[in-house]
Amino acid sequence: MLYEIQVVNHGIPIEVIRNMIDVSARFFNLPYGERSKYMSSDMAAPVRYGTSLNQNKDAVFCWKDFLKLVCHPLSDVVSHWPSSPVDFRESVATYAKETKYLFLRIMEAILESLGLWGATKDDRTPENDEILKQLDGGSQLMVVNCFPPCPEPDLTLGMPPHSDYGFLTLLLQDDVEGLQIQYKGEWITVEPMQNSFVVNIGDHLEIFSNGRYKSVLHRVIVNPAKLRLSVALLHSLPFDYMVRPSPKLIDDANPRRYKDTDFATFLHYISTCEPKKKNFLESRKFT
């Protein structure tokens, strides 16, 4: 089934997208002392900055700096976000709200393809709408990545092969290529398209769809000359909810293929095992 799509006519104003990239570039240009205020070892902190320049103890060495921002509920988290550049909070909050709306519209299409939702009156039962309601109130985590130019691009990776944990990641890349997805055993470069979003299926959608959708294995290669920025927005159910296969997608011909999982299980997994490829998802499968 579908692995990766790029959305173009998404209705999100171009200025919102440009501001997001522009303010991220200015954040990573701030003096180190300003950026490092947001370093934290607490994986659940509402804001967390990290740099490959002094995180050499990471088991997986990534050639990147990142800023992780919890985006939901916005009113609780915005005051924790960086206060510099001055327009940072406003630009990022606008971007997060617009993108959440787009995420929900894409989820409607996916749920419809699974026979779990429909836009017509008969299909709009409270039961069918429930999952969308949960996703609307669900987690939204932003990862702003900055991949500096790397003099030895063949010796490292911006990010090693992995799949994202949520339902869908909406990914914005600037005009420098670097993202690759694995398709039939080959690494395919996803060419940047201005003002478009790459939609990556995450592990939670694979679990929820009982394997009908597969999460996409992807990685980032580095560039010898150019700095690259990307913004990944991961969407899922609220952090404390269980993700499980939809009961309507389980029957004798399609037995339940995945165990229940929640965000705490994932955090525990990544803090005790080196995250590799789709290992976390593999650990959630019934064998």
Residues that bind Fe ion (CB under 5 A): 164
Q: Taking CB within 5 to 8 Å according to partner kind, which of Fe ion, ligand AKG, none is near residue 168?
A: none
- Helices then strands, counting H and E runs in the chain, come out as 8, 11
Which residue number, 164 or 203, has a Cβ lying nearer to Fe ion?
164
Q: How far is the CB of 242 from ligand AKG (least distance, A)?
A: 23
Distances (CA, A) of 32 to 39, 59, 91: 11, 23, 22
Q: Taking CB within 5 to 8 Å according to partner kind, which of Fe ion, ligand AKG, none is near residue 145?
A: ligand AKG
Q: Taking CB within 5 to 8 Å according to partner kind, which of Fe ion, ligand AKG, none is near residue 230?
A: ligand AKG
* DSSP calls for 9-69: -----HHHHHHHHHHHHHHHTS-HHHHGGGB-S-TT-SEEEEETTS-TT-SS-BS-EEEEE
Q: How far is the CB of 15 from Fe ion (least distance, A)?
A: 26
Which residue number, 62 or 102, has a Cβ lying nearer to Fe ion?
62
Q: How far is the CB of 267 from ligand AKG (least distance, A)?
A: 15
Q: How far is the CB of 177 from ligand AKG (least distance, A)?
A: 9
Which residue number, 50 or 138, has a Cβ lying nearer to ligand AKG?
50
State which H helix or E strand residue 70 sits in. strand 65-70
* DSSP calls for 99-139: HHHHHHHHHHHHHHHTTS--SSGGG--HHHHHHHHHHHTS-
Task: Let me know if 61 is exposed, middle or buried by CB neighbors in 10 A (0-12, 13-18, 19+).
Answer: middle
Q: Where does this chain bind ligand AKG (CB under 6 A)?
A: 143, 145, 159, 164, 171, 173, 178-179, 218, 220, 230, 232
Which residue number, 138 or 178, has a Cβ lying nearer to ligand AKG?
178
Q: Taking CB within 5 to 8 Å according to partner kind, which of ligand AKG, Fe ion, none is near residue 67?
A: none
Which residue number, 51 or 230, has a Cβ lying nearer to ligand AKG?
230
Q: How far is the CB of 145 from ligand AKG (least distance, A)?
A: 5
Look at residue 246 and give its three-state secondary structure: coil
